[in-house]
Chain A
Amino acid sequence: MLNNAKSKPNLKYCISFAVQSTFNVIFMEKQLEDLKAIREMMEKSTKFLSLSGMSGVLAGVTAVCGAAFAWFYLLQDPAATNFNRFQETLILLADALLVLTLSMSFGLYFSWKKAKKNHQKLMSRVFFTTLYHLALPLIAGGIFSLIFLYRGDIEMVASSTLVFYGLALVNVSKFTYPEVHYLGITEIVLGLLAAVFLNHGILFWTIGFGICHILYGLIMHNKYDSKK
Chain B
Amino acid sequence: MKNIIANLNKAFESRVRLGIMSVLSVNAAVDFNTLKELLDVTDGNLASHLKALEGMEYVQSVKQFIGRKPNTQYTITELGRTSFQEHINALEQLLK
Residues on A facing B (Cβ under 8 Å): 28, 31-32, 34-35, 37-39, 41-42, 44-46, 119-121, 124-125
Which B residues touch A34, using CB under 8 A? Answer: 15, 18, 91
Residues on B facing A (Cβ under 8 Å): 8, 15, 18-19, 21-23, 25-27, 30, 34, 37-40, 88, 91-92, 94-95
12 A-B pairs with CB atoms under 8 Å apart are A31-B94, A34-B18, A35-B88, A35-B92, A35-B95, A39-B22, A41-B39, A44-B38, A45-B38, A46-B26, A120-B37, A120-B38
The distance in angstroms between the C-alpha atoms of A32 and B23, with both chains bound, is 18
Q: Are A28 and B95 in contact (CB under 8 A)?
A: yes
Which B residues touch A31, using CB under 8 A? Answer: 8, 91, 94-95
A109 to chain B, nearest CB (A): 20
B16 to chain A, nearest CB (A): 10
A125 to chain B, nearest CB (A): 7
Which A residues touch B92, using CB under 8 A? Answer: 35
B-side binding surface: helix, strand, loop or mixed?
helix
Q: Which of A41, A119, A120, A121 contacts B23 (CB 8 A)?
A: A41
Q: Are B19 and A37 in contact (CB under 8 A)?
A: yes
Which A residues touch B39, using CB under 8 A? Answer: 41
Q: Are B37 and A41 in contact (CB under 8 A)?
A: no
The distance in angstroms between the C-alpha atoms of A42 and B23, with both chains bound, is 5
Q: Are B27 and A45 in contact (CB under 8 A)?
A: yes
The distance in angstroms between the C-alpha atoms of A206 and B15, with both chains bound, is 48
Q: Are B91 and A41 in contact (CB under 8 A)?
A: no
The distance in angstroms between the C-alpha atoms of A27 and B21, with both chains bound, is 21
Given contacts A41-B22, A41-B38, A46-B27, 6 further A-B contacts (CB under 8 A): A31-B95, A35-B95, A37-B15, A45-B22, A45-B27, A121-B37
The answer to whether residues A35 and B91 also contact, given A120-B37, A124-B37 and a CB cut-off of 8 A, is yes
